[in-house]
């Protein structure tokens, strides 16, 4: 109960997997669920609901658009 969990995923597209995991973790008492991902698909708005300030999607999006890896 309580504490913080960081979910790690390789790619986020719809956010369904991370949202489902976050919901289950909250149901068992985890207070703070955050997420980080390596790659971003098209629907980053759903990711904001899970990841909050830990997910720097603007930088990832910029690098992806400019192909600066």
Nearest to 46 by CA among 16, 22, 26: 16
Question: So where are the chain's domains?
Answer: 4-55
Q: Which of 16, 17, 47, 43 is nearest to 34 (CA)?
A: 47
Say whether 19 sits in a helix, a strand or coil. helix
CA–CA distance, 59 with 2 (Å, rounded to integer): 30
pTM score, whole prediction: 0.56
Tens-digit pLDDT profile for residues 9-62: 888 877 888 889 999 999 999 999 999 888 877 665 665 666 555 555 566 666
Residue pair 35/6 in contact by the 8 Å Cβ criterion: yes
- CB of 41 within 8 A of CB of 14? yes
């Amino acid at each position: 109960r309580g504490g913080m969990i960081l979910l790690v995923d390789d790619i986020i597209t719809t956010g369904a997997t991370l949202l489902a995991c976050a919901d289950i973790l909250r149901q068992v008492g985890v207070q703070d669920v955050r997420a980080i991902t390596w790659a971003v698909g098209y629907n980053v708005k759903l990711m904001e609901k899970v990841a909050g300030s830990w997910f720097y999607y603007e930088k990832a999006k910029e690098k992806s658009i400019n192909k600066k890896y």
